[in-house]
Amino acid sequence: MFENLSERLDSAIKQLKGEGRINEINIATTVKEIRRALVDADVNYKIAKEFTDKVKEKATGEKVITSVSPGQLMVKIVKDELAELMGGKEVELDFSTKPTIILIAGLQGSGKTTFSGKLANFLKNKKSLRPLLVAADIYRPAAMDQLQVLGEQVKVPVFAEPENKNAVSIVQNAIAHAKANGNNVIIIDTAGRLAVDEVMMREVADIKAAINPQEILFVVDSMTGQDAVNTAKAFNDRLDFTGVVLTKLDGDTRGGAALSIRYVVDKPIKFVSMGEKLDTLDVFYPERMAQRILGMGDITTLVERAQAQYDEVQAKKLEKKIRANKFDFEDFKEQLNQIKKMGNIKDLLAMIPGVGKAIKDIDISDDAFKGIEAMINSMTPEERSNPDIIDTSRRKRIAKGSGKDVNEVNAFMKQFEQMKQMMSQMNKFKGMGGPGMPGM
Ligand code: GDP
């Protein structure tokens, strides 16, 4: 995410390295570089200029603190300003009225329907709410089907009236349905067009007028850069929405939309969507995003993702098995699944400070575990729960079944053994009062 921008900011700030103190000359060069980096990331020039003027003012106004190097000081100033530009503090959804009605608007293809599914999942699991998804796109039957499929995946009911060609009436019926069925939050997926268009705008505005939603979330594809910002402005002028959702941040986005949208529409970014997996929706935290842009990682989000997947019963069971030195391939597979559910692997690794930069050119796809999974899948249940019985002839069979070379199976078995040994040693250490193995 924002790799190019991160790199450019890094090199701009690096120029201050080795300088004894910040002065007008080195500040001017650095600030100019930062401005160029922002403009190249598709941030509007006016915003970039205002941003760097502030950075400059802060940097020159700083007392020279001897314990902080000019480079460190600059990182801090830029981080604070980036966070400020993206809104400063996170803003939550407003649930003060029940049922809470959330209207989702945006262009076709921006990721509205996917986001609706993710939001339903998020509200159900993280906020213990009972959502109802509403399909209000009367033009594309496929959109309705897509929402049905997503609803099934996240186990949230979907309200649809395929025969009804009046979006306002569908939505009104949906609200009555929600009230009768105890759904306390209603997520309405509206129709989008390929470009801003009067009929679409009027329709969403009519829905808004008829139902007075607590939240209107504008969904925008962050890959579209300045276009995203212009679309946001058009929607906001008409709808006066309450928040922005940036999607496709997992893609090759330059960063312009994320950095400028708040400034242009003066509405908070409430969520960022990174990927097509339904359980990877993140609340938008400007400060954390600023840290990530500056290559400082985002451990807080990483830990939260891990916590979201953490299952206490499962963890206890696993700990017991590790203690008894009985960790087997079934457990291993289960752990892989847990990690995969946390999101895209490269994205996860990039949340560790310093790692993002180191791995930026390495291709780590989500298929990274495929070979290992194929080998485990080629084992019989007995072999999985009792790895010791896997002798040479069984290894040959596993190799054949998984399309691997027997040497690869051998290497994997060896790694697995080593991992088990390491676990059992950590166990002993834990027994002696050591820190033990962190929960996997
Ligand atoms: P809608 O027309 O606005 O409802 O958009 P969809 O939800 O149908 O999404 C359009 C396409 O973008 C689909 O192929 C989605 O799978 C994909 N998509 C949605 N959100 C994301 C995201 O956060 N990251 C990526 N990579 N793809 C996404």
Q: List, for residues 174-203, the tens digit of each pLDDT value.
A: 999 999 999 999 999 998 777 778 888 888
Q: DSSP secondary structure string, 153-175?
A: HHT--EE--TT---HHHHHHHHH
Q: What is the pTM of this model?
A: 0.76
Query: Residue 211 and residue 214: Cα distance in Å, rounded?
Result: 9
Residues within 6 Å of ligand 1 by CB: 106, 108-114, 146, 192, 247-248, 250-251, 273-276
Every domain of the chain and the residues it spans: 3-85, 100-296, 304-431
Q: List, for residues 331-371, the tens digit of each pLDDT value.
A: 888 888 888 777 777 777 777 776 776 776 777 776 778 88
Q: DSSP secondary structure string, 416-427?
A: HHHHHHHHHHHH
Angstrom distances, CA of residue 46 to CA of 38, 53, 60, 244: 11, 11, 21, 21
Q: Whose Cα sits closest to atom 20 in ligand 1? A: 111
174 contacts: CB under 8 Å, gap ≥ 6: 132, 134, 136, 159, 186, 188
Q: CB-side exposure of 182: number of CA atoms within 13 Å?
A: 2
If phi > 0 it is left, if psi is from -120 to 50 it is alpha, else beta; for residue 424 that is alpha
Query: Residue 310 and residue 316: Cα distance in Å, rounded?
Result: 11
- Residue with more model confidence, 19 or 294: 294
Index of the ligand 1 atom closest to the CA of residue 107? 3
Q: What is the mean pLDDT of residues 298-311?
A: 73
Going by the annotation, the residues of the binding site are 106-113, 189-193, 247-250
Q: Whose Cα sits closest to atom 12 in ligand 1? A: 111
Instruction: Identify whether the C-beta of residue 439 lies closer than 8 Å to the C-beta of residue 310.
Output: yes
Strands 281-283 and 269-273: antiparallel
**CA of 146 relative to ligand 1 center, distance in Å:** 11
Closest among 361, 352, 365, 364 to 295, alpha carbons compared: 352
Burial 398-434 (b: 16+ CB within 10 A, else e): bbeebebeeebbeebbeebeeebeebeebbeeeeeee
Residue 295 has pLDDT above 90, yes or no: no
Index of the ligand 1 atom closest to the CA of residue 247? 23
The arrangement of secondary structure in 100-296, i.e. its CATH architecture, is 3-Layer(aba) Sandwich (3.40)
Other CB atoms within a 10 A radius of the CB of residue 151 amount to 22
* CATH T-level topology, domain 3-85: Four Helix Bundle (Hemerythrin (Met), subunit A) (1.20.120)
pLDDT on residue 62:
64
pLDDT on residue 337:
82
Q: DSSP secondary structure string, 100-140?
A: EEEEEEE-TTSSHHHHHHHHHHHHHHHS---EEEEEE-SS-
Q: List, for residues 121-152, the tens digit of each pLDDT value.
A: 999 988 889 999 999 988 888 889 999 999 99
Closest among 226, 218, 266 to 106, alpha carbons compared: 218
Instruction: Identify whether the C-beta of residue 333 lies closer than 8 Å to the C-beta of residue 339.
Output: no
For domain 304-431, give the CATH number.
1.10.260.30
Query: Residue 103 and residue 191: Cα distance in Å, rounded?
Result: 11
Residue 435 has pLDDT above 50, yes or no: no
**CA of 245 relative to ligand 1 center, distance in Å:** 12
Q: For the CA atoms of the chain, what is the radius of gyration?
A: 26
ipTM of the complex: 0.98
**CA of 288 relative to ligand 1 center, distance in Å:** 24
Other CB atoms within a 10 A radius of the CB of residue 139 amount to 16
Q: List, for residues 215-274, the tens digit of each pLDDT value.
A: 999 999 988 888 888 899 999 999 999 999 999 988 777 888 889 999 999 999 999 988
**CA of 300 relative to ligand 1 center, distance in Å:** 26
Q: List, for residues 44-102, the tens digit of each pLDDT value.
A: 899 999 999 999 988 887 665 555 677 878 888 899 999 999 999 899 999 998 899 99
**CA of 113 relative to ligand 1 center, distance in Å:** 7
- % pLDDT > 90, the chain: 46
Can you list the alpha helix ranges (DSSP code H) found in 127-266? 141-154, 167-181, 198-211, 225-239, 256-265
Strands 131-136 and 100-106: unpaired
Burial 22-35 (b: 16+ CB within 10 A, else e): beeebbeebbebbb
